[in-house]
Amino acid sequence: MKKTSRREFVVTGAAALVFSAAILRIAQGWIKNAGQMLGFGLSRPLDGPLTPPPNATIDPVAHVLNRLTFGPVPGDYAHVAAAGVDAFIEEQLAPETIDDTLCDRATARFTDLWCEPLGEHYEEDDESLPPILRRVTTLRAIYSRRQLFEVMCEFWSDHFNIDPGKGDCHWSKPGDDRDVIRRHALGNFRDMLRASALSPAMIWYLDGQANAVREPGDKPNENYARELMELHTLGVHGGYTQQDVMEVARCLTGWTLRSKKQDTRRWELLNLKKLAERPHEWKPFNMRGEVHFEKECHDDNAKRVLGHEIPAGLGAGDIDRVIEIVASHPSTARYLATKLCTRFIADEPPTAAVDSVARAFSDSKGDIKTTLRALFATREFRASAGGKLKRPFHFVVSALRATNAHTDAQLPLLSYLEKMGQAPFRYPTPDGYPLEAGHWHATLLWRWKFALALANNQIGGTRIERTKLQRQIGSDVAMMATVLNRQPGAAESDAFLKSGDGLALLLASPVFQRC
């Protein structure tokens, strides 16, 4: 098979964009009143120099911006070039020191909802919270200056994937996002793992509320125990056995919560029983979604997990022993290092990089910042520029950021992510959205359609101020360099000028598809 040259690909892409334009005009029509969109979203002020990358290849500054963020905005290159790559990495590893006023403004209308106790979420309509969570997540990725933090929130959301469409996850997933993912995204893995194990959303999603031993001979529900080791810690080839799965399931029996549909009277009786048994320790647990431990439903006998003896009589303390055993296991360090290197380096990460990252994870006892520092310091990371295909969410957000678009991130925008297969929190199985490029090759046509629609302001609630952006950035060459994150080649410049829609062509180009 003949290998397509870069120039042929660019020219073919231009033709495809023209064809896609015709389809869009017929199927959707042009937006009749673009002024309706002007009130939506926020305009990001482009302060400071907007000097684009000066090199013809992806240099270290452009590379770190491509990988540690959802894509640079105009001016980011000049900022990082002035501060230095290492300083930028340290800045991003300390998100609490970064002013994020613009992102706060973009999500302000949802602040009160996100601060509510989980039980109050149950008062919301059962279909209202997941769309809000998708919208807020998208707005944060677009507008936040704490870019590495948002990237890691996406990473851990996939790692501890929960489909909000299952049962009470409708109401409890926003709390999981706040109290598990965002609270620990750059913290300690062990803390995040324990928080996830006792997350109401995770308990519902993987049937923890059904994991009870009430009578001799009862078998525990092993769903969460299996995913805990296969997906969250050791990995499928991490060395655990079916017996280990059952022993972990026994350790986790008794943790439960009240569902939205459960009989209130039962929980009143449980409260009275607890009050009579331990009046000085009693506190009510009748709030919907509140996780608690029922001793009478726990298998309190001795267990053996991955070669470690867990004595009888620990009760609720069994969970802490399990977390310690699986979090400190060498297979967990290697499994997580491999996933992180896949995300930040290559779909088939180099062994040397994985070794270095796994060692940092183990030595730091799961400190995520220490682990990431080790990853970003590897020679393999620095040498991997331009080698990864952006997943759809990364691609869409990077296009919005590169063009300084403002958006309300509602259905007209999110529908493109649906069609590309990566709308936030829509993956149905516990393994989360794949990191590897092979899963996303079929999304190319919808990426081209999105690029065309975005460049021509055909997405409701989303707008690029093209004239203003062009004036601020300067020349066509500067515009191309800003979007591509490097200076354009001769073929790219030629196609940009001849296509009739240069911005759309840039966003659909092979270079912009990769990071």
Last residue of a domain, one of 293, 320, 343: 293
pLDDT of 197: 98
Domain count, the chain: 3
Task: Mark whether 376 and 420 lie in a shared domain.
Answer: no
Residue 408 lies in a domain: yes
Last residue of a domain, one of 350, 382, 414: 382
Average pLDDT for 83-93: 98
The pTM assigned to this predicted structure is: 0.89
**pLDDT tens-digit readout, 60-85:** 999 999 999 999 999 999 999 999 99
DSSP 8-state class, residue 69 = S
Residue 489 lies in a domain: no
Task: Mark whether 355 and 419 lie in a shared domain.
Answer: no
Residue 411 lies in a domain: yes
Residue 5, pLDDT > 90, answer no
Residue 468 lies in a domain: no
| % of the chain at pLDDT higher than 90 | 78
Range(s) of the domain holding residue 148: 60-197+385-438+504-515
Residue 377 lies in a domain: yes
C-alpha span between 451 and 441 (Å, rounded): 16
Residue 34, pLDDT > 50, answer no
Average pLDDT for 298-306: 98
Residue 374 lies in a domain: yes
Average pLDDT for 126-136: 90
DSSP 8-state class, residue 91 = H
Task: Mark whether 135 and 176 lie in a shared domain.
Answer: yes
pLDDT of 118: 79
Residues 132 and 112 sit within 8 Å (Cβ to Cβ): no
Task: Mark whether 408 and 376 lie in a shared domain.
Answer: no
Least Cα distance to 192 among 238, 160, 229, 155 occurs for 160
Task: Mark whether 358 and 395 lie in a shared domain.
Answer: no
pLDDT of 72: 98
DSSP H helices in 44-128: 60-68, 76-83, 85-92, 101-106, 111-115, 118-121
Residue 466 lies in a domain: no
Residue 105, pLDDT > 70, answer yes
Q: Which of 33-47, 132-146, 425-439 has the lowest mean pLDDT?
A: 33-47
Spatial CB neighbours of 234, under 8 Å, sequence gap ≥ 6: 240, 326, 329, 331, 332, 335
pLDDT of 486: 97
Q: Which of 38-42, 255-259, 345-349 has the lowest mean pLDDT?
A: 38-42
**pLDDT tens-digit readout, 370-422:** 999 999 999 999 999 999 999 999 999 999 999 999 999 999 999 999 999 99
Average pLDDT of the chain is: 89
**Terminal CA-CA length for the chain:** 26
Chain centre distance of CA 235: 19
pLDDT band at 263 (very low <50, low <70, confident <90, very high): very low
Residue 186, pLDDT > 80, answer yes
Task: Mark whether 68 and 192 lie in a shared domain.
Answer: yes
Average pLDDT for 105-131: 84
Q: Which of 4-13, 96-105, 220-229, 280-289 has the lowest mean pLDDT?
A: 4-13
Residue 191 lies in a domain: yes
pLDDT band at 32 (very low <50, low <70, confident <90, very high): very low
pLDDT band at 11 (very low <50, low <70, confident <90, very high): very low
pLDDT band at 42 (very low <50, low <70, confident <90, very high): confident
Last residue of a domain, one of 241, 267, 293: 293
pLDDT of 404: 97
Residue 271, pLDDT > 60, answer no
Task: Mark whether 106 and 147 lie in a shared domain.
Answer: yes
pLDDT of 9: 43
Average pLDDT for 101-105: 96
Residues 498 and 85 sit within 8 Å (Cβ to Cβ): no
pLDDT band at 40 (very low <50, low <70, confident <90, very high): very low
Residue 288, pLDDT > 90, answer no
**pLDDT tens-digit readout, 479-507:** 999 999 999 999 999 999 998 899 999 99
Identity of residue 281: E
Phi, psi at residue 132, to the nearest 5°? -65, -40
pLDDT band at 41 (very low <50, low <70, confident <90, very high): low
C-alpha span between 192 and 185 (Å, rounded): 8
Task: Mark whether 395 and 376 lie in a shared domain.
Answer: no
C-alpha span between 274 and 340 (Å, rounded): 45
Residue 456, pLDDT > 70, answer yes
C-alpha span between 60 and 82 (Å, rounded): 13
Task: Mark whether 128 and 175 lie in a shared domain.
Answer: yes
Residue 276, pLDDT > 60, answer yes
Task: Mark whether 282 and 373 lie in a shared domain.
Answer: no
pLDDT of 119: 76
Task: Judge residue 269's burial from the number of C-beta atoms within 10 Å of its C-beta, 0-12 exposed, 13-18 middle, 19 or more buried.
Answer: exposed
Task: Mark whether 355 and 389 lie in a shared domain.
Answer: no
Average pLDDT for 230-249: 98
Task: Mark whether 337 and 376 lie in a shared domain.
Answer: yes
Q: What does the DSSP assignment read for 217-235? A: TPPPP-HHHHHIIIIISS-
Q: Which of 31-35, 77-81, 355-359 has the lowest mean pLDDT?
A: 31-35
pLDDT of 279: 62
